[in-house]
Amino acid sequence: MISIRAMTVDDLPLVMRLKSIAQWNQLEADIYRYLALEPEGCFVAEYAGEAVGTLTVCIFPEEAWIAMVLVDEKMRGKGIGTALMTHALAFIDRRGMAVTRLDATPMGQPIYEKLGFLPEFTLARYSGVLPPAPPVAGVVPYSGDRLEEVLALERQVLAIDRRKMLVRMLAEHPELGRLILRDGKLTAFLLARPGARAWQIGPCLATVAEDGRLLFADVQHRLAAQTVYLDIPLANEPATAMAEQLGLTVQRNLLRMRRGGTLLTHSPGIWASSGPEKG
């Protein structure tokens, strides 16, 4: 009775309804981005002909990323989430990907474990309203001529190439990007985007701890009195300490999980993930 089909833009109301029930943060623009990044990797589950679940995949050169695993509350416990995951993993295997990652909620974790996913590290979602703060010296706006440096820093810290995602995000909100340069060299960057419930801050990568603190302080100045989300690896103690200094509190935890490849610990350069959608 469960069937899986490709997601299209006509499924936008379904995705928005399910994400609202789950109290997630995506806007319609985010769903359009997922479809644009991997049009053949976004799926809808139907049960007895009714659309009741979603899942998205994004293929990067080194790994696949699974996100937006949502099932209608009244249809849970019928194997729909497992069917979506099985279909997505078959798609990923056909693409020849040796590594698949995702950020698991506590509800989804048991399903992923049964499918061979293992834990890597835990992220805490910090949220709250930022207090006022003065401008920060040493942080500059993003400019397009720094794109290749941003991508190189991503590869240095994460060991993956997320060019297609970052190019899209920077094209959507270039005014929200911030950089730190030391002796003319890029050492840290931060992106942000609006959300339905809060500003999502991330990715934020910094090779020097002080740069991460400066980028967080700059966000505080630019988004004072706004609600923000930051998904921070718990192992990055300077980042979690800075989030708490900003008055943010942990809303929930997410577990970074991996299928295939070699399990990795958190990179100290990750100050904030881009969010559960793309890691």
For domain 2-98, is the CATH number 3.40.630.30?
yes
Q: What is the pLDDT of residue 262?
A: 83
Predicted pLDDT of residue 23: 95
- Residue-level pLDDT at 8: 97
* Residues contacting residue 210 through CB under 8 Å, at least 6 positions apart: none
Pairwise CA distance, residues 103 & 275, whole Å: 8
**C-alpha 172: how far from chain center:** 16
What confidence tens digit (pLDDT) does each residue in 211-253 have? 999 999 999 999 999 999 999 999 999 999 999 999 999 999 9
Q: Which CATH class for the 125-272 domain?
A: alpha beta
Q: What pLDDT is stored for residue 264 in this prediction? A: 73
**What residue spans define the domains of the chain?**
2-98, 125-272
Neighbouring C-beta atoms of residue 27, cutoff 10 Å: 16
Give 10-residue mean pLDDT values along the chain (279 residues).
Answer: 96 98 96 97 96 98 96 92 97 97 94 96 97 96 96 93 96 96 96 98 96 97 98 96 97 96 82 93
Confidence (pLDDT) at 252: 94
Q: Do domains 2-98 and 125-272 have the same CATH topology?
A: yes
